[in-house]
Structures are given as C-alpha cells and as structure tokens.
Amino acid sequence: MRHLLSTGDLDRDQATLILDTATELAQVGDRSVKKLPTLRGRTVVNLFYEDSTRTRTSFELAAKRLSADVINFSAKGSSVSKGESLKDTALTLQAMGADGVVIRHSASGAAHRLSHWVDGSVLNAGDGTHEHPTQALLDAFTMRNRLGTLAGLRVAVVGDVLHSRVARSNVLLLTTLGAEVTLVAPPTLLPVSVGTWPCEVSYDLDAVLPKSDVVMMLRVQGERMNESFFPSVREYSRHYGLDGERLGRMPEHAIVMHPGPMVRGVEISAEVADSPRCTVTEQVANGVSLRMAVLYLLLGGS
C-alpha cells in the first residue's frame, strides 16, 4: 500500500491491519510521553485547500506523535492563492522531499491526480464529494471498540449521502468489513444509481432505527434547501433528524455517530448530541490513533 486514496482500494486484511495497528498505537495516547520515534526524519506535508481545522489538527498530531516533521501548507496566503496549479504545488513539495502528502481538496479526484505527480505517499483527507478514507476508518475503529465486531453490524447512514464523501468511504469500507449498511435520506439526497451500491436504501428513518446497531448522522447544509433538495430545514428535521424520541426507538446497545461538525437542531438534537450513546468526541480521539496507524503503515517502511 503506497497511497490511501479510497477505502475501495482496501481489502479486508489491509483494513483490519489498519484497525489493529490503531488499537496498538492508541496506547501511546494514554502514556505521559505521547511520542514514538517511528517516523523520525520523515516529512509529512498537510496540504489543505479547504479549511478543516479538525482534520488538519488530527493529522498533524498523529504525525507529531510518530516524531515526523510536519509542514502545514494551507491554500490561503500561499502560492496557491496566486494561481499556482496543483501540479506545480506537487512538484514543489516533491522538491522539498515530502515523504507523505496529506491532501484536502474541494475537487473530487484531487488526491488521485496528486498521486501521479509526487513520489511520496498521498493520503486523501477528503476530496470533494468523493471520499474521506480516514474518516471511514476511524468510524469503523470506533464501532469495533464500542460494539466488539464489525461483521454483521447493522449501520444506518442518515442524511446528505449525495454530497457526502464520508458516506461513500463508509459504504465501501463497512461492506468490505462485513457490516450491513442502510442509507437513509430523501430521494433527492441520494445518488441516482444508489440501487447499484452494495447497501440497502430507505426513505424512512423510523422504520430503520429499531434495526440498527449504529446510526451515523451526516451533516446537512441549510443551503441545500435553496437548491430544492428539500422544502425546508424544519421538514428535513422532522423526517430525518435524530431527537430523543427517536433515540428511544433504537436498540439499547445502539450508538449514535457523527463525523462532525454537527448542526444541532437540524440533523441531531442537543439531547442526542450530548447523550453518552453519542460517540462524537470519541471519534475525534480515535481519529488521531487511526491516522497514526495509516501514517505508520504508509511511511514506516525503510
């Protein structure tokens, strides 16, 4: 494995290895000195074309805990804002000797393109509406920690699937790991060919909740209303928002997940967001361990 571009590129063994490695590395976070020398002398560039403090910080922390040198290259205020192409930026990073490039970009496929232009490893930290592989991996890691196994797990992914890179990566990864995914959304927020995806589809959240071990809520942007994806935020919330009452209809062991940032009052109520069954902060903590695992596996070789 040289790059991590899509969870679809991972087979079951590779995905499991990443999760197992994350489990080992998680213990580092519990120590007083949270640092391993594994990637000493290696350079990791965080190339972020979209603002994402959460993901960038997570990658930065992960790389630093492995003793890598970390450079944050943000699109704003750099040569990128002066019109430099992605290719030229890639060649620049290449010339500086980047061993790994973590890229977040608004264009689907940007990480794929980058992988043709640099010798180092490319980690897709979210490309447009395509994929966000480390998010899906940390989600799977969280599910496994909480519920013990992924095989046979019933996972509902609820919300704006059409525009969600998190949903795409999760469907591919969870299917590979043996979970059963159901996508829940109004038809306007599902891809037209969703029937060919390896998952179930439902328009009815209430029907799916009692049969779910995990309910993953996706962020829904209010602007979608203006593009006629749904009539109003209130109507969306009534049909697809997770509130305390709906939480009560889930099995007792079932957990609520959210990739963040949450929009309280739209897809998730404050009551649910703050409930102990909601794993949002746990996901954030797991994100660091998981990204350490990915960096270690991609860059840790000789």
Partner 1 sequence: MPDNHGPYLIRGARPLGGDPVDLLLRDGTVAQIGNDLEVPEGVQVVDAEGLIALPGLVDLHTHLREPGREDAETVETGSRSAAMGGFTAVHAMANTHPVADTAGVVEQVWHLGREIGLCDVRPVGAVTVGLAGAQLSEIGAMADSAAQVRVFSDDGKCVSDALLMRRALEYAKAFDGVVAQHAQEPRLTEGAQMNEGCVSDRLGLPGWPAVAEEAIIARDCLLAQHVGSRLHVCHVSTKGSVDIIRWAKERGCDVTAEVTPHHLLLTDELVEGYDPIYKVNPPLRTEEDVLALREGLADGTIDVVATDHAPHPVEAKETEWSNAAMGMVGLETALAVVQRTMVDTGLLTWEQVADRMSAAPARIGRLDGHGRGLSESGPANVVLYDPAAPVDVDGTAMVTKSSNTPFRGMTLPGQVRATFLRGVPTVLEGKNA
- Binding footprint of partner 1 on the chain (CB under 8 A): 85-87, 105-110, 112-113, 127-131, 165, 168, 191-194, 196-197
Strands (E), 128-199: 154-158, 180-184
The answer to whether residues 253 and 147 touch, using CB atoms and an 8 Å cutoff, is yes
Cβ proximity to partner 1: between 194 and 297 the closer is: 194
Distance CA 77, CA 88 (A): 16
94 or 275: CB nearest partner 1: 94
Q: Which is nearer to partner 1, 1 or 207 (CB)?
A: 1
Shortest separation between residue 90's beta carbon and partner 1, angstroms: 10
Choice between 33 and 192, CB closer to partner 1 = 192
Minimum CB separation of residue 190 from partner 1 in Å reads 9
Cβ(203)–Cβ(185) under 8 Å? yes
Q: Which is nearer to partner 1, 193 or 302 (CB)?
A: 193
CB of 130 to partner 1, least distance (A): 3
Is the CB of 65 or the CB of 163 nearer to partner 1?
A: 163
CA distance 208 to 263: 22
As measured in angstroms, the least distance from the Cβ of 186 to partner 1 is 16
Residue 112 CB-density burial (10 A; 0-12 exposed, 13-18 middle, 19+ buried): middle
Among the listed residues 23, 201, 249, 5, the one whose alpha carbon sits nearest the alpha carbon of residue 121? 5
Task: Tell the smallest beta-carbon distance from residue 168 to partner 1 (Å).
Answer: 6
For residue 63, give the nearest of 288, 302, 301 by alpha carbon. 288
CB of 109 to partner 1, least distance (A): 3
CB 137 within 8 Å of CB 104:
no
Q: Which of 300, 10, 276 is nearest to 169 (CA)?
A: 10
